[in-house]
Structure 1
Amino acid sequence: MLLSYNDCKETNLSFRVIYPNGTIEPINISRDKSGIQPLNFCPVNSPVGYLDPITSFAIETTKGKFILVTYTVAGDIKNSSTYNDYTMLIDLYGNIHSITLLGPSYVDNNNNWIPGQNFILPNVNNNRGFLYRSLTYNNVFNLTQWIINDDLSLSNITAEMILPNYAQFLPIATVDGDYMIIFTNSTNSINSSRDPYSPQGGIYGIYCEYKSNIVREPVILYQSTNPLNISSMECRINYSGVGNVCLISLQPNSTTSSTSRFIKINFLSQGSLFNVTPTIMNSANGIMSLRFGGYFYHNTVDQPSTTSIWGYVLDDNGILHNWTLNYPTEINYYGLRQVLTNNTVVMVQPTVNQTWGLITTDLYKVYNRDNPYDNILITNTTPTIGQNNIAANKINFITITYAIPVALSDGTITIFQSNDGFGIVRQNVSGSDENYVKLSDNNTVRVEVINSTFNNPGKTYHIMIANNFVVSRLYKEPLYGLNNYVWNFKTAEEGNVSEPSKIQEWLLNSIDGKVKLTLDGTEYFDNLTRTNKQEGFFNRLTKELADALSIASVQITTTKRYQIDTKVPDKSPKQYILSININNASGRADLIADYLDIMIRNKPITALASDYISQYLDQTYGYVIIRKYSIS
């Protein structure tokens, strides 16, 4: 969002969504629709400079991609103690899904309202919400964790975590699904020692576990016997290696140093330090690690209405690679810039007469320049990205080959069938499940595919790899996974089949069968029987089975009949057998029956395990066909 200082006339929220294919879609939300008070649209002249009360953050959830907008609501505009910060969840079509109170807005000891002191950090796992940081009236940081529920409301899942207002306070998300709070002390050591050999400056980290507000002791990431004059610090997941990386730019200290330095600090998710690389270099006021290796190294100089930027890629040998833009390039006064996962840098042009555009260039790729996975640690897969006309019945396994030796862990790999923008889960298995996942060698993972997974010919499938599916064999550190829709391929259309006879067509179009409930399922069903709600049980079960098989709901039916299984051993608890039939199957009833049997017998790795009713199906029983009669 772009606002000119002292201009409060524009009271609309205006965003531009840039899609991977280059298209740009606008989102415009009027104040009548948002309900945001006018005070949020005026930059505030605070003791620390002009500040915008409205901030926005991109976040991805299991339900899709959204924007979180934070702003302030004043109970009494003349009384800053009544100011509270809220967040609004907006989808990429401009629909507002929820509005949530976050807490009091920051007011200093002189009753000055200082907006924009809050910060939202999405978790690396899109089902774990975000970390929220705010500044309190007594000048300490307050951290809480939030999740976005299935109904798109927000819930606070931790009590407050209070931390001092450290210098260079920087929260980051770690690959293991937790957080690390990075901070600096650039004048005195934490122990305030007068010993000349004790640290006079350092960089530290506090591990923050998901769903926990326990404050742990800081770990040392870097220390110096001289005070540190830090001009910029950027920390994030090391996408081109293992763990996390902090990139620190140090300006010369007149008493101890006359040269600029750049320090790279590599550490694992819980703070274990394993590499520190100092480099003497020209000064920079911004540096960012890149997914294809190296670092986006840039300098900016503010002009009256624009910002000048010089950009390079710094490789691991200290060599600077020029970008293809002019030196300098003029960008918007706010210096808005973003590096995409494919190493393209996107910047906003200077605004002229309320019109602006984008400047883009592809940055130099240090490693694996042709990698299509947005993850250079993955070098190859079977099937390959974009592969077409794969015979579905020939896919008995999938493989992933990594650039470094790996060990299996408990993250998941999920196979989806595409369905009008939504993915239908066909198979979901943990890396620690040795029944389905094995290492072919130190670098290659092999995942067994059950026959029901690719049961629909001519369909597109995509595979998502969660973080921590594998870990580095050397460091035991979780590796970054593979986002949805990157690894996709298409199965072949069904071949021609001979015309069946009338009796064969009847047999192939419909099958009567039965399933069995577990002990828990039988108890649950009995409770429904007493309240006359078993019809809803059958209706929901048939829908869940059809959805899991990715077939039309009319193809799975039931007579709603049930009986006690009489073949269980004497004195065993009772279990119910239920009627489940396959109809209108267009000659594929036998295949659907086979797929259903396979899915139930492999229930823990299919969608049936997480559905409300189908989780109660007995996987040892499967789906049993009730034979009509056979023909030769």
Structure 2
Amino acid sequence: MIWIAFENEEDPSCMLPYFYLQLIERTGRITYIDLNYTFPPEAVCPINITYIPLGYNYIMIIYVKTNNGVKGKYGLIINYNSEIINEIYLGNVNDYIIDSGTSVKGFICIEEHDKRGIAAWHWLSTPDITTGKVVELGSGEFSVPNLLSYTSVNSFNFSLVDGGIGYAYILRYDEMGSSATNDPNIQYWKIYVSFLREETYSSTTPSLIYQTTTKLNSIAFKSCFYNNNAGYICIVSLNNTITNKNQSRTEVNYYQLELLTTGSFVQFGMVPKEISNTGNFDLYSLIYGGFLVRKYYTNTMAMNFYILDNNGNYKSGGSFGPEFVNINLFRKNSTLLGVKETGNKLEFLLKPLLRLNNQGAEYDNPVIESTKPVVNEVIDSSINFITIKYAIQVRLSTANISIFQLNGDVYKSNLL
């Protein structure tokens, strides 16, 4: 899906109050969504509007609107024919609205956490295929562990590949007494994580996945994503102050925090070589090994990117110029997609990224050695077993394997 927003010439931080979307299918056929709806000023200046795809050919546009003098987040549900199905209230302007990991399993609203670190959540269904109605499937709270002398500072959420979300809590130790002011770094820190899954519609008990052994100024999550080889990988930044001969400097280092959805810790390792935190950039751990760094420029879509190996050495790189209006990363096949606007035409440029490990490329999974039946073979009724041979020891987060059949529509893959 490509969202086309027209910039307000009088104020670049604003957009015109219209919504255009292009849905490009695998065959190359393009569906144009031109919504006959004018969004309110608070949604477009500054830009407070986004969208998520839902199942059964529905899309929900998420935007800010004022009702009776109170700003809130609303969802406008439309179909692929540019028809408005209904509008729903989602929550306060600071609430998070994320998909559940798979479009047919609905979406999740997470309220901003309070001073105690408690955040309420609501799991809402995909619109009914005939009525378009959305219903609440479950609700509850993410609650931080009740630890003496620890305060909840921040949280971070991420989607799970098989439906649901992970919710990480960052807690700071509140040291008392004179020793608290002697160190330029603030305190010790702990990270807990809970998981919310479909069907149970309840969050797991928070699990401790990391705690610092030295004092730090802060800890922050940069990204979390699924990795075939190691469950989930989160990139976190650790900020600390180094003092030497009455001079001090602040240093930011990045680490990979690997975990399973059982709440089990896998490992915590430093991203090789310090990456400068000047400017706007993204940092990803790649499925086929190494890291992708994407650096951006102010007031333009221009972007430089480069690949680092597992030791932090530069291996390759490239760039997209300011003429590109949209740039996306497809992690499974390790490819960047750039969309360039030329007059009334859109041009698409695919840039495959260097794979440091090309094993299992035909499966889009570097840890699969072979399958029986082989990939792309039709599974008929005479086949009683499906065999998957892995190149590594398999650690299943939930002791389950999900197998999907493809029917030509990426939004309608069916679970076997």
Q: CA deviation at 1:235?
A: 0.9
Residues 56 and 218 of structure 1, relative CA distance in 2, 3 Å threshold: same
**Structure 1 residue 253: deviation in Å?**
3.9
Structure 1 counterpart of 2:52: 57
Is residue 28 of structure 1 aligned with residue 34 of structure 2?
A: yes
Q: Using the alignment, how far apart are the partners of 1:209 and 1:9 within structure 2?
A: 35
**Structure 1 residue 179 corresponds to structure 2 residue 100:** no
Q: Which residue does the alignment assign to 2:406?
A: 485
- Aligned residue runs from structure 1 range 2-401, under 5 A: 2-4=5-7, 6=11, 10-21=16-27, 24-31=30-37, 37-44=39-46, 52-59=47-54, 61=55, 63=56, 66-76=58-68, 79=69, 81=70, 83-103=71-91, 105-106=92-93, 117-125=94-102, 127-135=104-112, 141-148=119-126, 150-151=128-129, 152-161=132-141, 169-174=155-160, 177-184=163-170, 189-192=172-175, 200-202=187-189, 204-210=191-197, 211-212=200-201, 216-217=205-206, 219-228=208-217, 233-238=222-227, 240-250=228-238, 253=241, 255=243, 260-278=252-270, 279-283=272-276, 285-302=281-298, 305-323=299-317, 325-326=318-319, 329-331=320-322, 336-349=327-340, 357-368=347-358, 371-387=361-377, 395-401=382-388
CA distance in 2, matches of 1:136, 1:75: 23
Change (3 A) 1:487 1:269: farther
Structure 2 CA distance for aligned equivalents of residues 246 and 477 of structure 1: 19
Change (3 A) 1:372 1:101: same
1:74 deviates by 3.1
Q: Shift of residue 317 of structure 1?
A: 3.6
Task: Tell me, yes or no, if the aligned pair for 1:232 and 1:250 is still in contact at 8 Å.
Answer: no
Residue 118 (structure 1) shift: 3.6
Cα 1:140–1:39, aligned 2, differ >3 Å: closer, same or farther? farther
Distance 2:21 2:41 in 1: 19
Distance 2:189 2:26 in 1: 40
State the Cα deviation string for residues 108-139 of structure 1 (Å, max 9, x = none): xxxxxxxxx34332223555422212448999
Q: Deviations over 1:24-60 (max 9, x none)?
A: 44321111xxxx543255313xxxxxxx22111234x
CA distance in 2, matches of 1:160, 1:193: 34
Q: Is the 8 A contact 1:55 1:69 kept in 2?
A: yes
* Residue identity matched to 2:173: I
1:90–1:149 Cα change, 3 Å: closer
Q: Deviations over 1:486-505 (max 9, x none)?
A: 899xxxxxxxxxxxxxxxxx
Q: Report deviation, 1:287.
A: 1.1
**Does the C-alpha gap of structure 1 residues 268 and 355 become closer, same or farther in structure 2, counting only changes over 3 Å?**
same
User: C-alpha deviations, 1:65-112, integer Å up to 9, x for none?
Assistant: 543211234334xx2x2x332213334443444432223x33xxxxxx
Measured at CA, do residues 257 and 25 of structure 1 come closer, stay the same or move farther in structure 2, by a change above 3 Å?
farther
Change in CA separation of 1:399 and 1:141 when aligned onto 2, cut-off 3 Å: closer
1:372 partner SS? helix
Summarize the Cα distance change of 1:55–1:358 in structure 2 as closer, same or farther, 3 Å threshold.
Answer: same
For 1:300, the aligned partner's letter is Y
Kindly provide the amino acid, as one letter, of the partner of residue 342 in structure 1.
N
Distance 2:309 2:328 in 1: 20
* 1:158 to partner: Cα distance: 2.9
Gaps of 5+ in 2: 145-150, 410-415
The one-character-per-residue Cα deviations of 1:470-516 (angstroms, maximum 9, x if unpaired) are: xx3x566557745441899xxxxxxxxxxxxxxxxxxxxxxxxxxxx
Check the 8 A contact 1:176/1:478 in 2, yes or no: no
The change in CA–CA distance for 1:260 and 1:68 in structure 2 (over 3 A counts) is same
Instruction: Say if 1:275 and 1:307 are closer, same or farther in 2 by CA, change over 3 A.
Output: same
Answer yes or no: is the 8 Å Cα contact 1:260–1:280 preserved in 2.
Answer: no
Q: Which has the higher strand share?
A: 2
Q: 1:353 to 1:312 in 2, by over 3 A?
A: same
Query: Would the alpha carbon gap of residues 252 and 223 (structure 1) be closer, same or farther in structure 2, given more than 3 Å must change?
Result: closer
1:153 alignment partner AA:
K
Task: Write the letter of the residue equivalent to 2:334.
Answer: N
Q: Is the 2:58–2:127 contact (alpha carbons within 8 Å) kept by the matching residues of 1?
A: no
Task: Note closer, same or farther for the CA distance 1:267–1:9 as it changes in structure 2 (3 Å cut).
Answer: closer
Q: TM-score, normalised by structure 1?
A: 0.51
| C-alpha spacing 1:356/1:166, structure 2 compared with 1 (3 Å) | farther
Deviation (angstroms), 1:12: 2.3
CA contact (8 A) 1:243 1:479 kept: no
Secondary structure in 2 matching 1:246: strand
Aligned residue identity for 2:76: M
Contact residue 375 and residue 482 of structure 1 kept, 8 A: no
Aligned counterparts of 2:383 and 2:404: Cα–Cα separation in 1:
23
Indicate if the aligned counterparts of 1:58 and 1:67 stay in contact, CA closer than 8 A. yes
* Distance across 2 between alignment mates of 1:260 and 1:40: 36
Q: 1:135 to 1:209 in 2, by over 3 A?
A: closer
Paired letter, 2:61: V
Is the Cα contact below 8 Å between 1:122 and 1:173 reproduced in 2? yes
For 1:203 and 1:23, how far apart are their aligned partners in 2?
Answer: 49
Q: Which of structures 1 and 2 has the bigger CA Rg? A: 1
Distance (whole Å) between structure 2 residues aligned to residue 21 and residue 342 of structure 1? 18
308 and 149 in structure 1: CA distance in 2 versus 1, 3 angstrom threshold: closer
1:514-567 CA-to-partner distances (Å, cap 9, x unmatched) read: xxxxxxxxxxxxxxxxxxxxxxxxxxxxxxxxxxxxxxxxxxxxxxxxxxxxxx
Segments of 5+ residues of structure 1 without an aligned counterpart are 45-51, 107-116, 407-471, 489-606, 608-632
- Which residue identity is paired with 1:4? E
Give the Cα separation in 1 of the matches to 2:42 and 2:323. Answer: 21
With the length of structure 2 as denominator, give the TM-score of the two structures: 0.74
TM-superposed CA distance for 1:373, in Å, is 2.7
Matched to 1:13, the amino acid is F
Instruction: For residue 258 of structure 1, report the CA deviation from its aligned partner.
Output: 6.5
Matches within 5 A, 1:371-520: 371-387=361-377, 395-404=382-391, 472=394, 474=395, 477-478=398-399, 481-485=402-406
1:159-204 deviations in Å (ceiling 9; x for gaps): 352669965532123356443212445xxx3344566799825351
